């Protein structure tokens, strides 16, 4: 499926058209809001996991820098991030994180931010990279390396406690995955407008999330089942 989809050459993209600029402003809003929330989430995690405080504060600071760098990508195109839709789209995921944080549910927090949001970020930036404008391309490539490190932190923490956390990972994933897929669904048209393929993005996301679950100790079949149940609850138009 992925091989058959036409490869969009970014030389064909008119970065200055109104259609591109409008779509980019909304997508850039989602990225900037997502990065700013990631910064907050890592700072909250730094309080809850004092033994990893310094590393978590460092990961949070990276997220803050990502937000600033992506605002810069918009500014370079003469665009301001439209955060109205973005805040609405991220609210349920953020509330779920705050609920887990409030209940001292550390595995829940790490599943939402460390596995799901980070897999989402890696998949989105991988899919965006080939169609990014020349200013955004190197920034996106370097952000991608950082997101892989964030994902790895959560995987290591959850893997070390797999027996105790498995039930929570399944439960929180089944709540957070449909929210994430619905963010994607809301962005599908704008993504197409800037040259991205949302179906390909979902495929990359599912592969990454499956791999993350297996890395922490899930059997392949169970991981697959969890993802398929969530994916079939949100149709991608
Ligand atoms: C975690 O570090 C941050 C989470 C942010 C999630 C962003 C999702 C973005 C969806 C579409 C992105 C396309 C990339 C465009 C870059 C301006
Ligand atoms: Fe980030
Ligand atoms: Fe991240």
Atom of ligand 1 nearest to the CA of 35: 3
Contact by Cβ (8 Å): 74, 89: no
Domain spanning 14-233, CATH class: mainly alpha
Closest C-alpha to ligand 1, atom 12: 124
Ion ligand 2 neighbours, Cβ < 5 Å: 35, 63, 66
Q: What is the DSSP letter of 199?
A: H
pLDDT band per the 50, 70, 90 thresholds, residue 50: very high
The answer to whether the pTM exceeds 0.85 is yes
pLDDT of 229? 87
On the question of pLDDT at 235 being above 60, the answer is: no
Closest C-alpha to ligand 1, atom 9: 31
Can you tell me the distance from the alpha carbon of 213 to that of 222, in angstroms, rounded to the nearest whole number? 9
Domain ranges for the chain: 14-233
Q: What is the pLDDT of residues 98-155, one digit of tens each?
A: 999 999 999 999 999 999 999 999 999 999 999 999 999 999 999 999 999 999 999 9
Closest C-alpha to ligand 1, atom 3: 35
pLDDT band per the 50, 70, 90 thresholds, residue 35: very high
Q: Please state, rounded to an integer, the average pLDDT across all residues of the chain.
A: 94
């Amino acid at each position: 499926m992925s091989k058959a989809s036409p490869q969009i050459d970014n030389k064909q993209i008119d970065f200055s058209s109104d259609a591109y600029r409008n779509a980019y402003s909304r997508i850039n809003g989602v990225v900037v809001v997502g990065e700013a929330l990631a910064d907050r989430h890592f700072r909250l995690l730094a309080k809850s996991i004092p033994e990893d405080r310094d590393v978590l504060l460092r990961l949070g600071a990276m997220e803050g820098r990502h937000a600033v760098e992506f605002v810069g990508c918009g500014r370079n195109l003469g665009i301001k991030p439209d955060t109205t839709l973005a805040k609405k789209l991220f609210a349920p995921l953020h509330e779920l994180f705050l609920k887990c944080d409030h209940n001292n549910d550390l595995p829940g927090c790490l599943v939402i931010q460390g596995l799901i949001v980070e897999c989402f970020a890696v998949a989105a930036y991988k899919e965006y990279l080939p169609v990014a404008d020349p200013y955004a391309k190197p920034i996106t490539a370097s952000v991608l390396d950082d997101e892989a490190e964030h994902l790895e932190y959560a995987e290591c923490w959850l893997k070390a406690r797999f027996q105790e956390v498995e039930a929570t990972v399944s439960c929180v994933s089944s709540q957070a995955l449909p929210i994430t897929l619905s963010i994607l669904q809301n962005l599908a048209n704008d993504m197409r407008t800037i040259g991205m393929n949302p179906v390909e993005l979902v495929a990359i996301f599912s592969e990454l999330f499956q791999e993350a679950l297996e890395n922490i100790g899930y059997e392949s079949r169970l991981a697959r089942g969890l993802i398929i149940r969530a994916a079939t609850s949100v149709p991608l138009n």
